[in-house]
Amino acid sequence: MPTHVQSQQEFFTMLVEEQRDIRITLASLERSGKPVELDQTTQGRVSRVDAISNQHMAKAGSTRLVIQLDRINAALEWYAAGRYGICCRCELEIPHGRLMADPATPFCLDCTEELAEVKQHERHHRLNTGR
Ligand SMILES: [Zn+2]
């Protein structure tokens, strides 16, 4: 049995609320990030450039949100499976403080650091052998 049942429910609520917020934001980004009208007669060149760069910004923002939404969905699935708060990698309990900071985290701090190191190492490797 998980040891922090009460706070698990709090995390569940936090995740569901964040999920809802992200969906609302994504929906509004989608509306504002509609394909840019390239109608010469109604828009000058400058405002068209503005519209395109706004669209790019909306896209960059939504990519980040989509990633976070994926993490939340995964965490909620994990929760439904009764495994919330357990590291996906080493299967040890994730410390409460870490879940407070990021309720969607799938990994304990050790695993996160190890995975970050591996990534950094790979990047190093690519940089050193890249040319
Ligand atoms: Zn771990």
Per residue in 11-45, pLDDT tens? 999 999 999 999 999 998 888 766 655 555 555 66
Going from the Cα of 5 to the center of ligand 1, the distance in angstroms, rounded, reads 20
> Model confidence over 68-98: pLDDT tens digits?
999 999 999 999 999 999 999 999 999 989 9
Domain count, the chain: 1
For residues 102-107, average pLDDT: 94
Tell me phi and psi for residue 86, to 5 degrees: -110, 130
Ligand 1 ion: nearby residues, β-carbon < 5 Å: 87, 89-90, 108, 111
Going from the Cα of 114 to the center of ligand 1, the distance in angstroms, rounded, reads 9
Q: Is 82 helix (H, G, I), strand (E, B) or coil?
A: coil
**Contact between 43 and 51 (Cβ < 8 Å):** yes
CA-based Rg of the chain, rounded to a whole angstrom?
20
**Contact between 18 and 104 (Cβ < 8 Å):** yes
Going from the Cα of 96 to the center of ligand 1, the distance in angstroms, rounded, reads 13
Please give the angle made by the CA atoms of 12, 13 and 16, to the nearest 5 degrees.
85
Going from the Cα of 65 to the center of ligand 1, the distance in angstroms, rounded, reads 24
Q: Is the pLDDT score of 1 beyond 60? A: no
Going from the Cα of 99 to the center of ligand 1, the distance in angstroms, rounded, reads 13
pLDDT, residue 117, reads 92
Going from the Cα of 112 to the center of ligand 1, the distance in angstroms, rounded, reads 7
The residue range of the domain holding 27 is 5-129
Going from the Cα of 53 to the center of ligand 1, the distance in angstroms, rounded, reads 40
Which residues make Cβ contacts (< 8 Å) with residue 82, sequence separation at least 6?
Answer: 2
CATH value at residue 20: 1.20.120.910
Which residues make Cβ contacts (< 8 Å) with residue 59, sequence separation at least 6?
Answer: 33
pLDDT, residue 40, reads 55
CA 118 – CA 101 distance, rounded (Å): 23
